[in-house]
Amino acid sequence: MLIVIRVFYVIALVLYTATAIGYLRAFNQKMTQPRKRRMVSVNYAVLFQLLGLVTYTMYLQQAPFLGMFQGFTFAAFVLAFLFLFISRNVENDVAVGVIVFPLVCVFSLIGIFTPLELVSDPLLAPSPWFILHASIALFSYGAFAIAFATSVLYLQLHGEIKAKRLGTFFARLPSLGELDHLTYLTVSIGFVALTVAIATGMAWTQIRLGKLLQLDTKEIFTFVNWVIFALYLHSRLYRGWRGRRAAWMVIAGFLVVLFNFLIVTVLLSKTHSYL
């Protein structure tokens, strides 16, 4: 059965790689396939990765994102799934796809070489609260990653326009307004998901330990993340923030996400070392 899981993951990686190449060629204006064909490969890739995740869950009787590296596999699935949703809301999907799918390929590749084994903590696998907490948290990270990408693209395009040197980014990216809207959309999705992840994490902690918070390092940085993105949404909705300031705030928030997901999890957290 482990071989079957690997096969599903490998097929998904091959399709993701083909999709990434398609978007890179499209970005370089060397169109080899229409958008519809690229989306077909994305749909099949997501389907095969989903089959692998479901098979993993049923065979090992645990969530398919336990451990840092299995988390990367699930994160690849989340990014691709979010792209399918976002691509329906934009006219030009190439700018986002050219960033998302190379990242999806890297995450999927890491997952393929990860040992498929049971985690050491038996309290994690059977808890529905943990499954909700961790999966929704990873979903929020995926949304923030896309928001980070669109913010970087916004700054690059804004720089070209301000300098009056209209080059690669001006010719091939969506408008500043569309990039700003994409950032707002993905941050909104990520913020709602992060809020739900925090709530389910508190419920899980209450069940396990009889208290809502452990005041772990990762919990503190997660709250910092929540505050940054809450300030972004508040500033946009009530103070009319747009443009470069908003983009830099999203970038700062995602850097905290990366620090929390990588450094805090590996080195600083005592109770969140599983993810």
For the segment 27-58, what is each residue's pLDDT rounded down to a tens digit? 777 555 566 777 888 899 999 999 988 888 88
Whole-number Å distance between alpha carbons of 154 and 232: 16
Rounded alpha-carbon distances, angstroms, from residue 114 to 66, 69, 219: 11, 6, 26
pLDDT attached to residue 167: 62
pTM score: 0.80
pLDDT at residue 170, as a whole number: 62
Mean residue pLDDT across the chain: 80
Over residues 111-135, the mean pLDDT reads 68
pLDDT of 121 higher than 60: no
Which amino acid type is present at position 134?
Answer: A
What was the pLDDT predicted at 196? 94
- Most confident of the following: 50-64, 104-118, 178-192: 178-192
Residue 121 and residue 52: Cα distance in Å, rounded?
22
- Could you tell me the pLDDT band of residue 113, with boundaries at 50, 70 and 90? confident
Q: Output the pLDDT for position 253.
A: 92
Extract the runs of DSSP E, i.e. beta strands, from 101-211. Answer: none
Lowest mean pLDDT, pick from 30-44, 50-64, 143-157, 224-238:
30-44
Do 64 and 114 meet the contact criterion of CB atoms below 8 Å apart?
Answer: no
pLDDT in the model for residue 168: 62
Distance CA 229, CA 254 (A): 9
